[in-house]
Amino acid sequence: MSNGQAQAQPHARASATDWIAVTAGALGALMATLDISITNSALPQIQGEIGATGTEGTWISTGYLMSEIVMIPLAAWLTRVFGLRNFLLGNAVLFTLFSVMCGLSTSLPMMVAGRIGQGFTGGAMIPTAQTIIRTRLPREQMPVGMTIFGLIVLLGPLLGPVLGGWLAENISWSWCFYVNIPVGIALVALLIAGLKSDETHWEAFFKADWVGILGLAIGLSSLTVVLEEGQRNQWFESTEIVTLSCVTAFGMLLIAISQMFSAKPIVRLSLLRNPRYASVILIVFAVGAGLYCVSFLLPQFLSIVAGYNAFQSGSIMLVSGVPAFLIMPILPRLLGKVDFRILVISGLLFFAGSCLLDISLTAQSVGHDFFGSQILRGFGQMLAMMPLNQASMAAVSREESGDAAGLYNMARNLGGSVGLAIIGTVIDRRNDFHSEAIRESLTANSVLGQERIAGSAASFYAQGGDMAHAHMQALGQLSMQIGQQAIVMTYSETFYILAIALLACLPLALLLKTPKHSGDAPSAGH
C-alpha cells in the first residue's frame, strides 16, 4: 500500500490526513471512555425516572462494561472483515443511536439494552484508536500519538462523573446521552475525511474462529457480571453467581480449545509468549486495577465520611488530571529519549506513593486533604501508562498491532473489574471486623464510653427536654461514630493494599522494551 510504503521511509512524516485519522480515533475513544462513568453521578435521577431500584440500577453500568469487554478483543478481527473505515463509521453511527435510545428510555430493560449497545460499539473504538496511531504514524511521531491516546484513557473516566453530575443537576439526565449526538456527527465527518474506503472481506467472517468468539462472548460477559455483582450477592451463596461462574468456566474452556485447534484464534494469546509484551499486559492489569479502584474509593470516602455529592467528589478526582496537562508538552520528548523502564518504574513509585499518602485518613478528612495524593497520582498515572501504551505496540510487529491493542485494553478493563471485586470484598469484611472490634472495646463498664454517652445525652436533653429520648439519641450518635471510624480504618487499609500491589509490579518493568526511533522500518518487530 502506498501509504504504508511512505511510512516505511526513514524520515517519513505523518500527513494532514494521517493526523485527521488519529484525531478521529482519539475522539471515538474519548466518547467511549467518557460513557463508562458518565451515568455514575446521574444514577439516582435515572433510577427514579425509569422506576429502577438501587440494585437494579447497577445494571446501567454493568451492562456497558459487560458488552465493552467482549467487543475490545473482537475489534481487530472485525476490522479485517469490514475494513477500518467501514467498521468505525458503523460503530460511530450505532453508538450515537444507542445513546439516543438511552436518553429516551422510560424503563429499565430499554435503558440496559441501550447501554449494552453503547458498550459493544464503544468498545470497538478504544483499541482501534491505538491501531490507527500504530499504523498511520511513523516511529518518530508515535510518542505524540500515544500521549494523546493515553490522556484520553486516563481523563475520560475522570471527566465522566463531573460532566454527568453537572448535566443531571442543571439540564436533564437525558443529556448525559444526548451529548454524544454532536460528538458522533463530528466523528463521522473526521472518519470520512481521514480514512480511505476499503473493501470488506466476507471470507474472513465465515472462516472465523467461531468457537473462540462464542467463548469470548459468554466467558467475558459472565465474568464481568460475576465480578461486578459477586460481593453484592454474597458470592457463591448466590445461585445466580454460581451459575454464571460455571458459564464463565465453559467460555474459558472454549477459548482454550480455539487456541489449540484454530488456525487463526480470535484472541492471539500466543502474543503472551513474548516476555516483553507479557510484562506490559501484567503491569497494565495492575495499573488498571489501581485506576478503577481509586476512582471508586475516593468518591465513596468523600460521600460517606465528608458528605460530598457526586459533582463535588468528581471535582476532587479531576485534580489528578492537572499533571496530565502540565507534563503533556514534554512527555513525547521523554518517551523518545528516556528508557521506558525508568519512566514506568517512576510512575509506579509515584502511584504507590500517592496511595500511601492516603493511609492516614481520619473522619475529619475532606476534599483538600487529597490534593497532594491526587497530584502525585496524576504524575504516576501519566509516567506509567504512557510508556506502557507505546511499549505494547513496540513489542509486536505492525501486523500484530490490532490483536495486541485488543489484548492490552482488555487487560486494563479486566484488571479494573478484578480490582473492584477484590476491594469490594475487602471493604465489606474489614469494615465488619473493625466495627465489631470497636464495639467490643466499648463495654458497659468503659469509663470513657459512659462519659461520652452522658455528655451527648445532656446536650440532647438541653435541646429537647426528654432524658429517655436524649439517651437514645446519644447511643445512636455513638453508633454512627463507630461506623464512621470503622470505614475510615477500612479505606486506609485498602489504599495500603493498592500500594503493595503496584510496588509488586516493579520487577516486571525491567522487561519492558524501549522502541528505537532511528528510522527503522515499521515492521521491524518481526
Residue 346, pLDDT > 80, answer yes
For the ranges 243-257, 296-310, 321-335, 432-446, the maximum mean pLDDT occurs at 243-257
- Position 98 pLDDT exceeds 90: yes
129 HSE (CA, 13 A, CB side): 33
User: CA-to-CA distance for 394 and 417, rounded, in angstroms?
Assistant: 26
Give me 493's grid cell: 487499609
Cell readout for 72 is 475490545
Torsion angles phi and psi, residue 25, rounded to 5: -60, -40
Is pLDDT larger for residue 305 or for residue 53? 305
For residues 63 and 6, the model is more confident at 63
Q: Is 177 exposed, middle or buried (0-12, 13-18, 19+ CB in 10 A)?
A: buried
Q: Please give the average per-residue pLDDT across 201-209, as a whole number.
A: 78
pLDDT value, residue 349: 92
- Mean per-residue pLDDT, 121-148: 78
CA dist., res. 108 & res. 59, Å (int): 9
Residues in CB range of 436: below 8 A, 6 or more apart: none
Cα–Cα separations (whole angstroms), residue 85 to 6, 182, 195, 197, 243: 20, 19, 6, 6, 39
Q: What b/e string do you get for 354-391 counting C-beta neighbours within 10 Å, with b at 16 or more?
A: bbbbbbebeeebebebbeebbbbbbbbbbbbbbbbbbb
C-alpha to C-alpha distance for 294 and 25, rounded to whole angstroms: 27
Q: Return d(Cα 356, Cα 134) in angstroms, integer.
A: 36
Q: Is the per-residue pLDDT at 143 higher than 90?
A: no
Give the contacts of 27 (CB within 8 A, at least 6 positions apart). Answer: 183, 186, 187, 190
Using CA atoms, how far apart are residues 297 and 290, in angstroms rounded to an integer? Answer: 10
**Range with the largest mean pLDDT of 83-87, 153-157, 228-232, 494-498:** 494-498
Torsion sign across C-alpha atoms 137, 142, 144, 148: positive
pLDDT at 437: 76
Q: What is the pLDDT of residue 476?
A: 61
Among the residue ranges 150-159, 343-352, 372-381, the one predicted with the least confidence is: 150-159
The pLDDT-based confidence of 383 (bands split at 50, 70, 90) is: confident
Residue 500 has pLDDT above 60, yes or no: yes
Rounded to the nearest 10°, the torsion over CA 35, 36, 38, 44 is 130
- Average pLDDT over every residue of 420-437: 80
Q: Do the beta carbons of residue 36 and residue 291 sit within 8 Å? A: no
pLDDT at 477: 59
Each residue's pLDDT tens digit, 77-91: 888 888 888 888 888
CA distance 80 to 356: 45
pLDDT tens string 170-188: 888 888 889 889 988 988 8
Mean pLDDT to the nearest integer, 340-369: 86
Note the CATH architecture for domain 269-425+494-516: Up-down Bundle (1.20)
Measured between alpha carbons, how far is 423 from 497 in angstroms, rounded to an integer? 9
Please answer whether residues 171 and 57 qualify as being in contact, where contact means their C-beta atoms are separated by less than 8 angstroms.
no
Q: What is the mean pLDDT of the chain?
A: 78
8 A C-beta contact, residue 31 and residue 125: yes
pLDDT at 470 over 50: yes
519: left (phi over 0), alpha (psi -120 to 50) or beta: left
pLDDT given at position 145: 77
pTM higher than 0.75 for the full model? no
Alpha-carbon separation of residue 183 from 40, 120, 370 (angstroms): 20, 18, 33
| CA 369/CA 308 separation, integer angstroms | 13
SS3 53: coil
Which of the listed CATH numbers 1.10.3720.10, 3.90.550.10, 1.10.645.10, 1.20.1250.20 matches domain 1-207? 1.20.1250.20
pLDDT at 63: 79
Query: What number of other Cβ atoms are within 10 A of residue 105's Cβ?
Result: 22
- pLDDT by residue (tens digit) across 245-304? 999 999 889 888 888 887 788 777 888 888 888 888 888 888 888 877 887 788 778 877
Give 381's pLDDT tier (boundaries 50, 70, 90): confident
Long-range contacts of 440-444 (CB under 8 A, 24+ apart): 442/478, 442/482
Q: Dihedral, CA atoms, 58, 224, 127, 76, nearest 10 degrees?
A: -130
Give the pLDDT score at 350: 92
* % of the chain residues with pLDDT over 90: 5
**Cα separation values, 129 from 8, 18, 222, 267, 346, Å:** 20, 12, 26, 18, 26
Higher per-residue confidence, 377 vs 443? 377
- Helices marked H in 59-178: 59-82, 84-103, 108-136, 142-170, 175-178
Distance CA 98, CA 335 (A): 38
Judged by average pLDDT, the poorest of 2-11, 36-45, 339-348, 406-415 is 2-11
Q: Does the pLDDT at position 214 exceed 80?
A: yes
Residues 6+ apart with CB under 8 A from 10: 519
Q: Is pLDDT of 522 > 50?
A: no
In this prediction, residue 53 carries a pLDDT of 66
Range of weakest confidence among 214-228, 349-363, 371-385, 450-464? 450-464
Apex CA 518: angle with CA 513 and CA 521, to 5°?
85
